[in-house]
Amino acid sequence: VKIGLIGSTGHVSIATGGLRELQGIEVAGMAPGSAGESMEKAAQLLDKAGFSAPRYDDGLRLIQEAKPDLVVIACHFGDHARYAEEALRRGMHVFVEKPVATTLADLEKVRLAYDTAGTRLAAMFGSRTTPAFRTAYQAVRQGKIGRIRLVQAQKSYRLGIRKAPYLSRDTYGGTIPWVGSHAIDWVLWFTGERFRSVYATHSREENRGHGDLEMSAQCQFVMTGGIAASVSVDYLRPESAPTHGDDRIRIAGTEGVLEIRDQEVLLINGEASGIQKLKLLESRNLFAEFVHSIEGRGECTVSAEESFLCTEACLKARQSADESRVVLF
Amino acid sequence: VKIGLIGSTGHVSIATGGLRELQGIEVAGMAPGSAGESMEKAAQLLDKAGFSAPRYDDGLRLIQEAKPDLVVIACHFGDHARYAEEALRRGMHVFVEKPVATTLADLEKVRLAYDTAGTRLAAMFGSRTTPAFRTAYQAVRQGKIGRIRLVQAQKSYRLGIRKAPYLSRDTYGGTIPWVGSHAIDWVLWFTGERFRSVYATHSREENRGHGDLEMSAQCQFVMTGGIAASVSVDYLRPESAPTHGDDRIRIAGTEGVLEIRDQEVLLINGEASGIQKLKLLESRNLFAEFVHSIEGRGECTVSAEESFLCTEACLKARQSADESRVVLF
């Protein structure tokens, strides 16, 4: 498989981290995907993985000239969609940072290109493959909490000092699509239902000079089956916190309650008295899974359809927050 | 102070538990407040506190004949308002189970009666006086987390087997007003802001034959100052859980994050590295505070205005959930 790397802004490390698990990979080229984007991080990660790659001036030229089989897209978030669309139109596989697009119009273009491409696409919902989330998902699918009725998900990050691409809605897309997308994806993945409506709110107040960046956001989804799912997102985690991020989910079902907190999985159900701490599964690499799925060797944890549905949910939640109204799906 | 007890359904134990802290109290009478209500629990609690009281057939007769200075109301939830209104109209103080009313029309009647009564009223938001909540409130007021931007509150209870008053909207009022009211009160209390809008959802599915009772609910409030506050409520806590209830709140501010979980208070801010577990203040009794406030000896933690505002917020959240639309304040 010949791969091309476009951009060095998002979680390109998921792709480079997967390279060592793969056989017969050639990195056909790397290129910035957005104006002023440095490729140094990607170059270092590639080097660390034992690879080097010809450099191209821009992503479209890379697609046209290096002709990769698979494009990894992780540039400024507002530029994901145009490379994804272009690569799909040329019959390439696409491994793209989430959200797939930062506008519903761009998302529709990518979806249409995907529908006729016959190739694969997955968005970088990397938290799905971590030990806690894999373990929790297995427990839920094994029926440990019965039928899901209610979900609360949380993303909380340190703000630190964020650079220019985070400060403008055009390049950043918004805190709900960027940070919230993970938690919104968990809702989709764990419930296995579809989004029916969303009401959301977000605020740029107290963002310490970070332009358009929203410091906090909350979304209230109603899923098919009448499941309620709330998503809380913030950049308010203090620098003194023990970790950068504080990812959590609590899922309450008819037969039990499961939680992820501090990267542990806690379960209460009728099988035991009190709170069980589940033994964790090992992590997997999402990019390695994706390449294996192309090669017909297993399924990728993230499907194209989920990547699109989650992106749509993020963008409709952002719209809801912008317009202070309920948005339907 | 001559007190009368109407009803034995709600947290009448807050009142009887406060009796031993008070001087010069006479229990002038007790009576059921709702059709078919047994007063045995109240009688036992009174006895345990070293008191006895004449029995009346119904609450209105108690008000008219025993002429208490203060009425404790804890009957079926749909009947709170009519006793509160009647007692206020006769110049009595009112210590009433929350919600103060189960319809906005009833709430308005109580508010009007209060406005001309010149007496005091407090709703039984008893969790405010527990060690964890008192400690958390003190920390927030001391500025330990800066300006609040985001709140997530949770109430989760075991369902068990609930009797007839819980099974009908008329007598029960709904899960948002009954269980959710505590969490909605925390939002009001900690932020010190006012409710601006709410979007909520609730569901009766999987309620194990409990009639109208909603098993799960979520509310998304926007407060003045642009603070987002989500409230999640459920009866899905398994019987095997270590405790009946799982009360939580997480409050994220500009300078730190504070949480209550497992009746502990956890704080992250710039004063220390990592997570601090705060030393807990002692609990207080809300009824004793209320009587002392009548006697001019200190303030009650819960004001009449907050009791009304929180009840209004509960009822507007229920309306939002019933009608699937945003409700403004």
**Using one digit for the tens of pLDDT, what is the confidence trace for A39-84?**
999 999 999 999 999 999 999 999 999 999 999 999 999 999 999 9
Query: H or E element: which one contains A107?
Result: helix A104-117
Point out the residue among A234, A240, A253 whose CB comes nearest to the CB of B274: A240
Q: What is the pLDDT of residues A257-308, one digit of tens each?
A: 999 999 999 999 999 999 999 999 999 999 999 999 999 999 999 999 999 9
Of A24, A6, A12, A17, give the one whose Cα is nearest residue A284.
Answer: A17
Interchain pair A254, B275: CB under 8 A: no
Q: CA-CA distance, A25 to A287, in Å (whole number)?
A: 12
Q: Which contiguous run of DSSP H or E holds residue B6?
A: strand B2-6
Q: What would the pLDDT profile of A151-168 be if each residue is shown by its tens digit? A: 999 999 999 999 999 999
Q: Which of A243, A248, A278, A273 is nearest to A260 (CA)?
A: A248
d(C-alpha A321, C-alpha A201), whole Å: 4
Mean local confidence (pLDDT), B45-68: 96
Q: Is B314 helix (H, G, I), strand (E, B) or coil?
A: helix
In contact, B278 and B267? CB cutoff 8 Å: yes
Cβ–Cβ gap B228/A203 under 8 Å: yes
The candidate with the shortest Cα–Cα distance to A76, out of A43, A93, A99, is: A99
In this structure, the dihedral spanned by the alpha carbons of residues B130, B133, B135 and B137, taken in order and rounded to 10 degrees, is -140
Q: pLDDT (tens digit, 9 = 90+) per residue, B109-150?
A: 999 999 999 999 999 999 999 999 999 999 999 999 999 999
Whether the CB of A180 is below 8 Å from some CB of chain B: the reply is: no
Share of chain B above pLDDT 70, in %: 100
Q: Which pLDDT score is estimated for A321?
A: 98
Among B230, B273, B325, the residue with its CB nearest the CB of A232 is: B230
Q: How far apart are CA A49 and CA A45, in angstroms?
A: 6
What distance in Å separates the CA atoms of residue B295 and residue B45, rounded to the nearest whole number?
A: 24
SS (H, E, C) A113-178: HHHHHCCCEEECCHHHHCHHHHHHHHHHHCCCCCCEEEEEEEEEEECCCCCHHHCCHHHHCCHHHH
Chain A / chain B CB contacts < 8 angstroms: 152
Give the burial class of A169: count Cβ atoms within 10 A of its Cβ; 0-12 exposed, 13-18 middle, 19 or more buried: middle
Cβ contacts (< 8 Å) between B271 and chain A: which residues? 240
Question: Which pLDDT score is estimated for A21?
Answer: 93
Q: Would you tell me the crossing angle of helices B304-323 and B104-117 to the nearest 10 degrees?
A: 170
**Identity of residue B169:** R
Statement: the pTM of the whole predicted model exceeds 0.95: yes
Residue A310, H or E segment? helix A304-323
Q: How far apart are CA B87 and CA B92, in angstroms?
A: 5
**A276 and B CB contact within 8 Å:** no
Which residues in A43-68 are b (16+ Cβ under 10 Å) and which e?
Answer: bebbeebebebeebebbbebbeebeb
pLDDT in tens, A212-239: 999 999 999 999 999 999 999 999 999 9
What pLDDT shows up at residue A252?
Answer: 98
Distance from CA of B120 to the nearest CA of A (A): 37
Does the distance separating the beta carbons of B257 and A237 come in below 8 Å? yes
The ipTM assigned to this model is 0.96
Query: For residues A236 and A318, what is the distance between their CA atoms, to the nearest angstrom?
Result: 19
pLDDT tens-digit readout, B309-318:
999 999 999 9
Nearest to B220 among A150, A201, A275 (CB): A201
Q: Is B238 on the interface with A (CB under 8 A)?
A: yes
* Alpha-carbon span B327 to B318, nearest angstrom: 10
Instruction: Say what the pLDDT of residue B21 is.
Output: 93
β-pairing, B276-277 vs B2-6, is unpaired
Give the model confidence (pLDDT) of A77-113 as tens digits. 999 999 999 999 999 999 999 999 999 999 999 999 9
Asked if A241's CB is within 8 angstroms of B274's CB, the reply is yes
Q: What local confidence, expressed as pLDDT, does residue A182 receive?
A: 98
What single-letter amino acid sits at A327?
V
What are the b/e assignments for A252-263, b being 16+ CB within 10 Å? bbbbbbbbbeee
Residues 6+ apart with CB under 8 A from B249: B136, B151, B152, B153, B154, B183, B186, B190, B259, B260
Question: Which among B147, B149, B198 is the top mutation candidate for probing chain A, defined by the most A β-carbons within 10 Å of its own β-carbon?
Answer: B149
- The amino acid occupying position A115 is D
Question: Is residue A162 within 8 Å of residue A76, measured between CB atoms?
Answer: no
Percent of chain B with pLDDT over 90: 99
Q: What whole-number distance in Å separates Cα of residue B321 and Cα of residue A222?
A: 11
Contact list, B232 vs chain A (CB under 8 Å): 150, 152, 228, 230
Q: Which SS3 state, helix, strand or coil, does residue A326 take? A: coil
What are the Cα distances from residue A301, in Å, to A191, A292, B51? Answer: 15, 11, 65
Neighbours of A138 (CB within 10 A): 13
- Tell me what the mean pLDDT of segment B243-261 comes to: 98
In whole angstroms, give the CA distance from residue A328 to residue A195. Answer: 8
Q: What is the pLDDT of residue A245?
A: 97
